[in-house]
Each structure stands twice: as C-alpha cells, then as structure tokens.
Structure 1
Amino acid sequence: MTIIRTSTCSLQKKPHGKPDRQCIAHCSNGFRCPRAVQTSFSTRHKACPVPYCERHLKFGDDALKVYQHPKGFGKILVARFNLPKGYRMVYHGLRQTTGTDPHLDPDEDRTLWFYPAPGFEVNGYLDPSPCPGSVLQFAANGGPQEVANIRQNDRSFGHRNGSYGGMEYEASMSIPAGTQLVHNYGSEWWKDRPELKRSNVGTD
C-alpha cells in the first residue's frame, strides 16, 4: 500500500470533566486539527457532541484511510500515520430505534449499540452507513490468528433519544503507519451469522 506517512500523531488528551472543544482528528499534514468541534455542548441534555469539526465529521479523520481489501474482504481501515497507544477515534452515526430496519443487510451490518451517559443503558443503535466520515465502520474483525489493536471505551457522545451519537474507540497499542485497524465485533455478531466463517484479514 502507498500513501503512508512516517510522522506520528499526537495523543489527544481527554478534558477532565469537560467536553472536547478542539477537533480530535488529525489533518493530512500529520498535525492535530485546530478547528473547533462542530456542535456545542448541550446544557439542556448535559451531553458532549461528537468531537469532530465539520470537515472531519463529514470526511473522516485524515490519520485513517479506507481501502479495498486486496483479497476480497471488502473495505478496510488503515493507519495513515503512526498512531500512539490511546489514540482516540469515534464511531458515529444516526441513532435508530431497536426495531428492525428493512434497509440493513445483515451481512453488511455496521451498526453499533448506543450507550449514552449518564446511565450507559442501551438507547437504540448507531447506523454509520449514510455517514462516509464515520470511517470506523470499515474496521475489520481480526481473524483467529490476529490481535485486535483498537477497542471501545466507555465514553459516549450525543444524548439519549437524540438523532445522532457516537461511541469512542482508542488504540489499544501503538499502531505503525500502514497497519490495518481491527477490533472484535463480539460473539453475538458472529452467532447471528453462522454462515460466515471468521478468517484472518491480513493483506500480506
């Protein structure tokens, strides 16, 4: 794969007890985006907005790049720069109810349960499919001989019963530029799709 840079992204610190005001994405030059988060903190709902500026919310973090897998596994997500352990990313999308949506293809289901604060009780799910800037939807599930390098933490964005939300992920280890980002979809995802065989998704 080409396009890979050797610079290392900075680690975005979480504001203690406060919402992010600066976009947490990185620009194509390898530096953190200086723009403000697109949506302001909601004092009514006490909810933090998805911490991306308008551009990165729409097009995605420039530290990450979507590719077509060379072995036919569909789209995958690759680190464009070196990512430090703890690098923050957000899986965001439209909040839907828990009812079944007929437009969702079960084999291409990239939805994620939404657990907004406070309480962290499930409140529907996030559908990233109409949101191309939500690039984490393309991160693959690692195979039997592969290790996940990103994981979901307990930070949420958006409020209960809102129209849009996000769940935060972080790098569970240092990720070199050119490395694929993979995580665990969960046993229930695979249980609901017995016809699918879990395979290694490495490109080498």
Structure 2
Amino acid sequence: MTLARRLAAETIGTGLLVATVVGSGIMADQLTSDTAMALMGNTIPTGAILFVLITVLGPISGAHFNPAVTAVFAIRKEIDWTSAALYVIAQVVGGIVGSMVAHLMFDLPALQVATHVRTGTSQWFSEAVAAFGLVAVILGGLRARPQSIPALVGLYITAAYWFTASTSFANPAVTIARALTDTFSGIRPADAPGFIIAQFLGALLALGLAGWLFKPVEVAE
C-alpha cells in the first residue's frame, strides 16, 4: 500500500474510534444517570468498533490507531521511523477530528476543553497496565493467531474498561482527543501528559517481555 493510503487509513480509523468513544459516552450519559450503565454503554461500542476497524483497515495500514503501538513496531523495525512519525501525526489529527464529529452529531460545540479530573498514581499505573496488556495481546496474537487480532484487541479493551481504574485509554492519540471533549469520556488537558507517559512506558515494557516470551524456540537438528 502507498504511504498516502496508509496514512488515510490511520486518520480515518483513529477518527472513527474516537467518534465512537466520545459519541457513545455522550449517548450513554444522556440515556441514564447510572454511572455503571453509562460505562457499559461506552464500553461495548468501543470494543465493537475496534473489531470492525482493525478487520477493515488492518490490511491497509496495520490498523495501529495508536502512537504507542506505532512506536513499538518502529522499534521492531517493522515500520521506518519517518513513516512512524507520519502515522502518529495522522492518528492525532484523526482523533481530534473524531472528537469534533461526535460533538456535532449531538448538537454540541465542536471545540471543547475537558474538565474531567483523571490523575493520581492509581490512574497512571492503570494506564501503564492497560497499554502493557494491549501491546502484549497484539504481539502475542501476531505470533499465535494473526487472523484473530481484531477480536483479541476488541475484547481486551472491552475487559480493560472494567479492570483498570482509568477505564483503559491505552492510547496517546485518543488521550489527546479526549482532552478536547467536556463530556462523559473527557480528561483534563493537564492530566493527559501523565496518562501518555504511562502508556508509552507500559507499551515498552510489553515489547521487552514479548521479545523473550514469544521468541520462537530453536530446535537443534
């Protein structure tokens, strides 16, 4: 695939992912005052859209939709650093546009700044765990069953919404986009850097572990 098509896939994919996260959060918040039910209404669409987007766009760009994932593949030399940098730009731009699209669909101001406080050691640790698990699942899936990656990632994020204190952002581009929505899924811009640092650290830890855990066993002849 040409670089232009790959960048388009990353932009569109990240945009649709964020539009789903933000839009389903707005819808859930409008339909119920029960926080648990609202979170469920946010969780299921996110897992579902990940399955769809990775299945459809994976053959074009690899369906990273995530700067931490792109960095891992660049370190593994499966994408060159110039393309990786362009991927990250595409992801961030796509995410911001996705957030704006979600707002417009619900007749809200397109440009917003989040006020939802998400900070503290437990939140940062949760994001490191969430990103660690995501990258480990991707690399393990590539080793064992590549065709199952869409389902594996969708199901992992669905689960991680509930077992992490941060509701598993696990994605720097999505974190930036969610700092620009003052709705159910938002995060204060001041809190975003802590999340992003934790996400990259978790991804790098997973890369280190995967290099050992999933290394093919050499059998002497």
Give the structure, 1 or 2, with the largest relative contact order (CA under 8 Å, sep 6 or more): 2
Q: Decide which structure has greater strand share.
A: 1
What TM-score comes out, normalization by structure 1 length? 0.30
TM-score by length of 2: 0.28
